[in-house]
Amino acid sequence: MNLENICNEVCVLAKEVGAFIINERKSNKNIHVETKGLHDFVTYVDKTSEQKIVNGLLQILPEAGFIAEEGTSNKKGEKYNWIIDPLDGTTNFIHGLSPFAISIALTDKDKIIIGVVYEISLNECFYAWENGGAYLNGERIQVSDKKEIKDSLIATGFPYYDYKRIKPFLLSLEYFMTNSHGVRRLGSAATDLAYVACGRFESFYEYSLSPWDVAAGALIVEQAGGKVSDFSGKNNYIYGKEIIASNSACYNEFFNIVNQHMSK
What is the binding site for ligand IPD (CB under 6 A)?
85, 88-91, 157, 187-189, 206, 208-209, 213
Contact, 91 vs 33, CB < 8 A?
no
Query: What's the closest the beta carbon of residue 213 comes to Ca ion, in angstroms?
Result: 4
The residues that touch Ca ion, with contacts defined as CB under 5 A, are 69, 85, 87-88, 213
Shortest distance (Å) from residue 42 CB to Ca ion: 7
Tell me how far apart the alpha carbons of residues 244 and 82 are, in angstroms, rounded to a whole number: 22
Which of 220, 226, 222, 208 has the alpha carbon at shortest distance from 40? 208
- Using an 8 Å Cβ cutoff, are 198 and 136 in contact? yes
> Nearest CA to 134 among 213, 195, 211?
195
CB of 249 to Ca ion, least distance (A): 28
Which is nearer to ligand IPD, 187 or 225 (by Cβ)?
Answer: 187
- Pick the closer one to Ca ion by CB: 69 or 230: 69
Torsion of Cα atoms, 62 then 46 then 134 then 181, to 10°: -160
CA 102 distance to own-chain centroid = 9
CA distances from 244 to 4, 44, 61, 145 (A): 26, 31, 30, 17
89 vs 225, beta carbon nearer ligand IPD: 89
How far apart are the C-alpha atoms of 109 and 192, rounded to whole Å? 25
Instruction: Find the length of the chain.
Output: 264
Q: How far is the CB of 196 from ligand IPD (least distance, A)?
A: 14
Contacted by 89, from Ca ion, ligand IPD, none: CB < 5 to 8 Å by type: ligand IPD
Task: Give the separation between CA 68 and CA 211, rounded to whole angstroms.
Answer: 9
User: What does 222 bind: ligand IPD, Ca ion, none (CB cut-off 5 to 8 Å by kind)?
Assistant: none
Residue number closest to ligand IPD, CB atom: 157
From the list Ca ion, ligand IPD, none, pick the one residue 188 interacts with, judged by a Cβ distance below 5 to 8 Å according to partner type: ligand IPD
Indicate which of Ca ion, ligand IPD, none lies near residue 98 (CB less than 5 to 8 Å, by partner kind).
none
154/189 with CB nearer ligand IPD: 189
**Closest CB 101 distance from ligand IPD, rounded Å:** 8
Compute the least distance from the CB of residue 219 to ligand IPD, in Å. 16
How far is CA 89 from each of CA 42, 145, 189, 201, rounded to the nearest angstrom? 10, 28, 8, 18
Q: Closest CB to Ca ion among 85 and 230? A: 85
Residue 157 interacts with which of ligand IPD, Ca ion, none, CB < 5 to 8 Å by class: ligand IPD
